[in-house]
Amino acid sequence: QENWDYIAETFTGHLLTYFITVTVSPLATDEKGDEAEEFFKSRTKASIARTVKQSIERVRIKAKWVMSTKGEADLGNVLKELAHKH
């Protein structure tokens, strides 16, 4: 976050949107989603707005998935079953 100005000036176009995607999308908690949303609130330009929105949406989806799996008694077996179905 502290280097955002440098990053935004150095990377442009596809490189900047790629950077946002690979740094924001892996987050998986609502707290981190809130943090990313707050950070980009005053830093989003039209050229990156969709990427920021989609990346934060991915964080929210993953956060919901993580919360839903916490109730799974045997997540390892569930994942094995899913892997064998494909």
DSSP 2: T
pLDDT at 72: 66
Structure-block tokens of residue 58: 């991915």
Domain residue limits, the chain: 4-85
Question: For the chain, how big is the Rg over CA atoms in Å?
Answer: 16
Q: What's this model's pTM, rounded to 2 decimal places?
A: 0.75
**Residue owning tokens 């929105």:** 53
The Cα 82–Cα 61 span in angstroms is: 19
Evaluate whether 51 touches 21 at the Cβ level (below 8 Å). yes
Per-residue pLDDT of the chain (86 residues), as tens digits, is 889 999 999 998 999 999 999 999 999 999 999 999 999 999 988 999 999 999 999 999 999 988 887 766 677 777 788 888 76
